[in-house]
Amino acid sequence: MDSEVSLMLHCAPLQALEEHQTHVEISDRFNRQSFPEIEEHIEAIWRDRVTKEPWLFNGAKFRLHSAVLSINPHPTNRPVGSTDARKQCTSLEKGHLGEQGVHNPVHKHIPSDKATKDEQSYVLKLQLGVTCYKDYIGTNWSQKAEKLQTHGEAECADPQAFLAQPLGVGAVLATSDGDIVLLRRSQKVAEAAGLLDIPGGHPEPKMVCQGVNEKMISVDLLRGKERAIVSEIFSSVCVEISDEVNLPLSSLSKPLFLGMALNHTSAGRPSAEFYVRCSLTTEEVRESYRRGGPEAHESTDILFLSRAELLQLNENSPLWSQMCPSVKGAVLLYQRVMPDH
């Protein structure tokens, strides 16, 4: 597998998850751990970055502590999100930490035969804290990231304990013709300049805590809003597509969760990858993109791959070296789950 990316967890073939199958636990226990030296380091890095790039903004983000796929062998007639159903769930698949301080992929799958699908329901549980962009720059992107991972393993038995680990989202976007959308990133963006990417970004805590000063957002303000957080995670994918590709939200299907990928160029930063269908043709999507949208400055061109081409992509493909880690992770997840098979 490519050293830039690995899979934390993934759904079984044909078993991509819907929003109602996703649950969140939010707690201060899932925030980044701290010690004085790292806080001083973060502040110094941020001051330097803002001096060079005064447009940078320190927004609040959700911090991913863990993600677990579970199976309910005895579903009731109640919705998957009900309290009783959650209590009956047993752990089936989750990301775990390896010896090098990065998450290793899990290969255990949920059974996918029809009889099993009719009898069982599936649940994704995310444990989230709160972090911010400043902490992301000062930890995951710091030259001291490896030392922080070593310190985390020694002090907390968790290599990522002192890293910001903001949860990202990305979309494998399919046109009505069955083509997959890729974007060529601008040379002016902070990460992966000039490389191929998929539409994506971050779910925003400020969308759950509307009217609250972003600097004041905390776990306390998010408690009791778990369903709103799940909704923000899923809806943020479509908002990013709309802003980056200039597509109407009404043209997009409900996102399906494929799995979680880790970007090792930023110390194992996690991203939830989704599959989204668009009701527009490839040419209609191309024309909408060319008209420009709210985030048109982030990319310079749009490309399309057929489903067959996407399924054949691997490390030896000429296009692979042009892809940023988020695309590679999404491709690997799509190839395993095949949501539109």
Give the residue from 265, 313, 66 showing the smallest Cα distance to 167. Answer: 66
pLDDT at 117: 47
Residue 57 near residue 137, CB atoms below 8 Å: no
Q: Please name the residue that has the structure tokens 């925003």.
A: 204
pLDDT at 187: 75
- Cα separation, 205 vs 131, in Å, equals 10
The correct answer on CATH 3.40.1360.10 for the domain covering 5-72+121-338 is no
- Cα separation, 258 vs 5, in Å, equals 15
Pairing of strands 60-72, 90-94: antiparallel
Q: Where are the domains of the chain?
A: 5-72+121-338
Residues in contact with 215: Cβ distance below 8 Å, sequence separation at least 6, in sequence order = 58, 60
pLDDT at 72: 65
Q: What is the 3-state secondary structure (H, E, C) of the chain?
A: CCCCEEEEEECCCCCCECHHHEEEEECHHHCCCCCHHHHHHHHHHHHHHHHHCCCCCCCEEEEEEEEEEEEECCCCCCCCCCHHHHHHCEEEEECEECCCCCEECCCCCCCCCHHHHHHCEEEEEEEEEEEEHHHHHHCCCCCCHHHHHHHHHHHHCCCCCCCCCECEEEEEEECCCCEEEEEEECCCCCCCCCCEECCEECCCHHHHCCCCCHHHCCHHHHCCCHHHHHHHHHHHHHHHHHHHHCCCHHHECCCEEEEEEEEHHHCCEEEEEEEEEECCCHHHHHHHHHHCCCCHHHEEEEEEEEHHHHHHCCCCCCCHHHECHHHHHHHHHHHHHCCCC
pLDDT at 138: 97
Tens place of pLDDT per residue across the chain (341 aa): 799 999 999 999 999 999 999 999 999 999 999 999 999 999 999 999 999 988 888 999 999 999 999 886 555 544 433 333 333 333 334 454 333 333 433 333 434 444 344 446 789 999 999 999 999 999 999 999 999 999 999 999 999 999 999 999 999 999 999 999 999 988 776 676 789 999 999 999 999 999 999 999 999 999 999 999 999 999 999 999 999 999 999 999 999 999 999 999 999 999 999 999 999 999 999 999 999 878 778 889 999 999 999 999 999 999 999 999 999 999 999 999 999 87
Question: pTM of the full predicted structure?
Answer: 0.87
| Residue 64 neighbours by CB distance under 10 Å | 26
Residues in contact with 108: Cβ distance below 8 Å, sequence separation at least 6, in sequence order = 92, 93
- Cα separation, 197 vs 181, in Å, equals 9
